[in-house]
């Protein structure tokens, strides 16, 4: 690897800086940050984002299949 010594020095420096500090997040902390309606809201927003793209993709594939079979 090119510049391996610099990479190792930077990793060592970061480890020394984070030695006394806590981890940025923990699994329990993430659960405590979420509010009451956050999980359903995230699920609904994911469906609103992903579902139309998936439907368009499936419609395009079915249209291609229809044109190959029907003609």
Pairwise CA distance, residues 40 & 27, whole Å:
19
Q: What is the pTM of this model?
A: 0.47
Sorted by where each begins, the domain ranges of the chain are 4-70
pLDDT, tens digit (0-9, with 9 covering 90-100), for 12-48: 888 787 776 665 555 556 556 777 888 899 999 999 9
Q: pLDDT (tens digit, 9 = 90+) per residue, 40-62?
A: 999 999 999 999 999 999 999 99
CA distance 71 to 68: 6
Chain centroid, CA 14 distance in Å:
25
Q: DSSP of 10-64, one letter per residue?
A: HHHHHHHHTSSSPPS--HHHHHHHS-TTHHHHHHHHHHHHHHHHHHHHHHHHHHH
């Amino acid at each position: 690897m090119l510049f391996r010594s610099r990479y190792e020095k930077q990793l060592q420096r970061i480890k020394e800086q984070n030695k006394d500090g806590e981890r940025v997040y923990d699994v329990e902390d993430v659960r405590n940050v979420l509010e009451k309606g956050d999980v359903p809201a995230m699920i609904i927003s994911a469906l609103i984002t992903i579902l139309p793209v998936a439907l368009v993709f499936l419609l395009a594939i079915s249209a291609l299949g229809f044109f190959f079979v029907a003609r």
